[in-house]
């Protein structure tokens, strides 16, 4: 019996599953199209994962008062847990790249996780400011030819492509 077993295992270890969900959430947030294609069980597992982080961004939009800036920083740090920090091409073990006190000489580019948090709080928080949940939609596509897995599109609702089609 599966009493109190809340999530799907998706045939992966816990670390792999969380890493996969973080990668998929990052891809969904930073995608210009506003959607990703994946299997139905992965999409169903990704939905609450993404909706929690969008709710954090929405809460940051509704802040006001003296401690609003500090609270927004706290919400951004909470949201950053849902994305990978990302890898850079900078190798810290090579001493020729290090400065006098062990600091890197070159500036490392922002990673996808940082970009996702910025996009989330700058654009998506404002877009969903007056919406109480239901930020994503799952559309089933049919079965994949190779392994007969049921495929789906998970997308953000009220995306620019959808709004342009309405007008």
Q: Each residue of 100-130: pLDDT tens digit?
A: 566 655 555 668 888 999 999 999 999 999 9
Evaluate whether 72 touches 59 at the Cβ level (below 8 Å): no
Confidence label for 88 from pLDDT (cuts 50, 70 and 90): low
Please report, rounded to a whole number, the percentage of residues in the chain having pLDDT higher than 90: 60
Query: How far apart are the C-alpha atoms of 34 and 136, rounded to whole Å?
Result: 10
Domains of the chain in sequence order: 14-166 (3.90.1030.10)
Query: How far apart are the C-alpha atoms of 63 and 57, rounded to whole Å?
Result: 10
Evaluate whether 7 touches 129 at the Cβ level (below 8 Å): no
CA dihedral angle for residue 82, residue 138, residue 153, residue 2, rounded to 10 degrees? 70
pTM for the structure as a whole: 0.81
Helix H or strand E segment including 116:
helix 112-119
93 pLDDT above the threshold of 70 = no
pLDDT digits (tens, 9 = 90+) for 30-40: 988 889 999 99
Evaluate whether 86 touches 92 at the Cβ level (below 8 Å): no
Beta bridge partners of 139: 153
Query: How far apart are the C-alpha atoms of 103 and 113, rounded to whole Å?
Result: 22
Mean pLDDT of 26-32: 91
Query: How far apart are the C-alpha atoms of 147 and 124, rounded to whole Å?
Result: 35
């Amino acid at each position: 019996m599966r009493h109190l077993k809340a999530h799907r295992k998706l045939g992966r270890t816990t670390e792999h599953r969380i890493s996969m969900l973080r990668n998929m959430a990052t891809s969904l947030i930073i995608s210009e199209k506003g959607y990703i294609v994946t299997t139905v069980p992965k999409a169903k597992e990704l939905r609450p994962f993404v909706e929690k982080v969008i709710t954090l961004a929405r809460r940051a939009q509704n802040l006001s008062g003296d401690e609003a800036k500090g609270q927004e920083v706290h919400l951004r740090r909470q949201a950053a847990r849902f994305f990978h920090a990302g890898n850079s091409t900078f190798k810290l073990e090579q001493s020729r790249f290090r400065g006098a006190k062990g600091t890197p000489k070159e500036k490392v580019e922002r990673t996808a996780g940082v970009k996702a948090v910025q996009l989330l709080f700058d654009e998506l928080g404002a877009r969903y400011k007056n919406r109480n949940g239901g930020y994503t939609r799952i559309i089933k596509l049919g079965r994949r030819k190779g392994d007969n897995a049921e495929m789906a599109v998970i997308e953000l609702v009220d995306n620019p492509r959808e709004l342009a089609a309405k007008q």
